[in-house]
Amino acid sequence: MHSTRWRSTHALALSAIAVSGILTATIPGTAAATPVGPDVSSWQHVDGRFIDWFAVRRSGHDFAMVKATEGLNYVNPYFVQDSLLMRAAGVARGTYHYAQPGLPPEPQAALYAATVLGQNGPLDLPPVLDLEITGGLDPARLINWTHRYLDTVQALTGRTPIVYTYPNFWKSAMANTNEFVHYPLWIADYRGNDQPDVPGGWPTWTFWQTTDRGNVPGIAGVTDVNVYSGAQGDFARYANISSPLGSS
């Protein structure tokens, strides 16, 4: 993950429920009842190695989130490779942009949308904004920045974006605003509770990043692991899957 990411520097124990779900999902040939998947960036390509997305899928992981872009000029060098191999393996793909709020939002949204070529194909989850640094903006300006980015990405991709954040950041940097409750929430919370801390007036979470110390077959080293809550309905529909995951 990005070197400044909170989720890469604060590893806490998983809750018993999360552990149970993740262990079930990593037994070869076993599919978890609740969709589970990693999220990856260039950090998971240790020494330039490929991710074996077929092994990821066989171990029961239904989806993965992949870093696409950051700021105004960074594109993950493994993004295209991962996207193609995920599609071949039948792993639903989410993609995210790591926000640099010190830079204008509209060109960042344009870079992201141009890189991912939309998020409307088979096995595509909606776009994700990864918001975890302020770029020196106070809450009012950061809230405005976030609205502008999300509006632009939605216009360019045609799908309602997902917001990734973590509780303390949202409560402080975003003044715990409830202006974004109509966007699905992907929350990072490693405290080991049965449920994550949901800030900002969201009624529930859609994805929960339970750990940054997961072990997923096919991925070298540790990686983040996430679970889908069902808040957006049937996962297959949400990920544009035309046939059940795992079917031939």
Enumerate the active-site residues.
39, 132
Query: Residue 164: which residues within 8 A CB-CB, separation 6 or more?
Result: 96, 128, 129, 130, 131, 132, 186, 187, 188, 207, 209
C-beta separation of 63 from 56 below 8 A: no
In contact, 7 and 224? CB cutoff 8 Å: yes
- 164 strand-pairing partners: 130, 186
Phi, psi (deg, nearest 5) at residue 67: -65, 130
**In whole angstroms, what is the distance from residue 221 CA to residue 160 CA?**
32
Give the residue from 181, 233, 221, 236 showing the smallest Cα distance to 204: 181
Strand partners, 104: none
